[in-house]
Structure 1
Amino acid sequence: MRIVSRRAEAVVFGGRGDVTVSPVDLPEIGHTDVLMETRVSVVSTGTEGWILTDRFHWGGSMPYPLVPGYQKAGVVLEVGAGVDGLAPGDRVFMTTSKVCEPVHAFSGGHISLSQEIQSEVLKLPAEVSDLEAANLVVAQVGYNAASRPRIHGGEVAAVFGDGMIGQMAAQALRARGARVVLCGRRQPRLELARRYSADVVVNVAQHEARWALSGIAPGGVQVIVDTTPSPDMSLYLDVLQPRDGQVVLSGFYPGGLDVDADALQKREVALLTNSGWTCERLDATLDLVARGLLRTTPLITHRFSYHEAPEAWSMIRDRDEDVLGVAFDWTTP
């Protein structure tokens, strides 16, 4: 007899600023569904922070109550009759999850039992740990940003933003052969970037970015990747090479963008964007992680039991400079 529903524990945003750990129901398993027991999930502090404060408005107002997050790793418990290539006991990564109303999945990342169609599931190689895999979507956003510009090797690329996406973009640019300068404001994050992500770091709270970058690349940088919520396009034009520079916009911009289109056109600056994830890019990112070219685990600065999610979010909202990556352990009872 098939189980009609399953009860899971989940991190739930009940409203603006409200974080609880609450029970939710999962639907009956579908023909191509995979049910996973979650071991670890990683917070996307930027996107989930916008969701918690009701400022992530690509799809309108937030459908509270909701389960946030979109990256987790665990072990398969059950598969639908139409699933091929996965079986109970397999280690997998999963993005989204299905839940039953009145709670909504947005996108259902932080949950003890995760159920979704097979296309949102990746089987994990032995050389990739659960924690490494559980940050795969954010790593893929950085990989995606770094894949947009033309890179032949030896170019100077400046990444603005010292968060996880900026760090991942910097690592992926280095993997493509660029010399990477990471510009940020939080010294503890910059120290991690110096060790794992970039060739040079610049604390723009202490040093003027124009002067710092002009000393590093006197002829101008070839590539800029922005991962901030408020890109300084005037600064970017000042530090780019005279022609054929490239700017990748990889942040979330609730205030919109102020862009001098004439200046971009006169200097033939390529303005590039990236967003979301695809299965192909997740596969490519997972390969870079497996090969040691993207290192996510050293950037996980804080680990909590999932029961401590409200305390974790209190810390994230306080914008502690020591906070970069935050993971929830779902193996504790």
Structure 2
Amino acid sequence: MKSKAVVFTSPGNIEMREVSLRAMNDDDVILETYWSAVSAGTEKMLLNGRLPSMQMTQYPVVPGYETVGKIIRRGKKVPESYEGKFVYVSGSLGYTDVNAAFGGASQYIISPLHKITLLDKLPDPSVAIALPLGATALHAVELGTISKKKILVIGQGAVGLLVTEFAKALGAEKVVATDLNAFRLEKSRADVKINVSETAVGEVLAEMELDVIIDSSGSMKAIEDNLRFLKMHGEIVFGGYYERVDLAYAQIFMKELKLICAKQWALGDLDRVRDMMGTSLIDFKRIFTHRESIHGNIPKAYETAFSNPNCLKMIFNWQED
């Protein structure tokens, strides 16, 4: 089966190309994509050749792990009830002529049934584009000691905004958020918001001692600059992706700080966040800032996603003419 897909052909080069799907197994489904999104972190590193070298990251490669579509075909072992249902899938390795990291930016996607997340109870399935970021944010928050604690969230990009919301929902006493961008801070629901391009964090926090720092910026410098606000035995949750861990050790040593790495999401988090999307607890769509038809200027859309600080999430509409 053939499919049109976004393909990174070499460092810095993006094409819409026809690709081939592998043969279907009995426990597979094929979905037609309705919406996919750009990961401004992972996909930027992939396009620039900065992800760890392995077979799946070798060009040509189909990017993407944020895809919502409708099941149009099913294998013999898949119940008929799945036909026509909207699902989320975190990409696909089901291509024969290109690699996939992680293969979600494709018109058609083949996936084993156990890797999909059903969305049939959501009034608006498009909100599930936020599932992976929501699950990532929830996992980072739950790795820290949050309830009745004072929390600093560094960075109010898409993940940082959701980290802030989850921290409040899970009982944090106070949530402080920092960012360099006024637009992002306007979207934030933190109790205290600090634009660090204009105001020093110390001027606002004064004598406040923090229990936990959750970093969503990916910046070692930003983490290091804020270590002095942590109390003894405080926690640092690394919620971004870092090429190197490089922090001055003195503060960590003297305060016996606990360093926690949040890889992705835990088993069951996607389903938990999906269920939250059916409530008014958190406004997941607040991160959806930019949209583009898949028939539009895709390289330009990626440039916007990667370089415009006001672009929290670029969404591609695959059904728009």
Normalising by structure 2, report the TM-score.
0.92
CA offset at residue 291 of structure 1? 2.1
Matches within 5 A, 1:157-168: 157-168=151-162
Distance 1:191 1:34 in 2: 41
Matches within 5 A, 1:311-322: 311-317=300-306, 319-322=307-310
- Determine the structure 2 residue equivalent to 1:219: 208
Matches within 5 A, 1:21-40: 21-40=16-35
- Determine the structure 1 residue equivalent to 2:224: 234
User: Residue 11 of structure 1 aligns to a residue in which SS?
Assistant: strand
- Determine the structure 2 residue equivalent to 1:253: 242
User: Residue 19 of structure 2 aligns to a residue in which SS?
Assistant: strand
Distance 2:178 2:275 in 1: 27
Distance 2:199 2:45 in 1: 29
Q: Determine if contact 2:85/2:120 at 8 Å carries over to the other structure.
A: no
CA-atom RMSD in angstroms: 2.0
- Consecutive unaligned residues in structure 1, runs of 5 or more: 1-5
- Determine the structure 1 residue equivalent to 2:150: 156
Matches within 5 A, 1:166-185: 166-178=160-172, 179-185=174-180
Distance 2:10 2:301 in 1: 17
Q: Determine if contact 1:159/1:166 at 8 Å carries over to the other structure.
A: yes
Q: Determine if contact 1:74/1:93 at 8 Å carries over to the other structure.
A: yes
Distance 1:46 1:91 in 2: 26
Is 1:103 the counterpart of 2:95 in the alignment?
no
Q: Determine if contact 2:86/2:119 at 8 Å carries over to the other structure.
A: yes
Q: Determine if contact 1:41/1:72 at 8 Å carries over to the other structure.
A: yes
Q: Determine if contact 1:69/1:110 at 8 Å carries over to the other structure.
A: yes
- Consecutive unaligned residues in structure 2, runs of 5 or more: none
CA offset at residue 234 of structure 1? 3.2
The farther-off stretch of 68-77 and 229-238 is 229-238
Residue 60 to residue 187, structure 1, CA distance change in 2 (3 Å): farther
CA offset at residue 186 of structure 1? 1.3
Distance 1:74 1:54 in 2: 28
Distance 2:120 2:15 in 1: 33
Sequence identity percentage: 27
Q: Determine if contact 2:34/2:70 at 8 Å carries over to the other structure.
A: yes
Is 1:210 the counterpart of 2:198 in the alignment?
no
Distance 1:306 1:177 in 2: 40
Distance 1:229 1:104 in 2: 26
Residue 107 to residue 269, structure 1, CA distance change in 2 (3 Å): same
| Aligned length in residues | 318
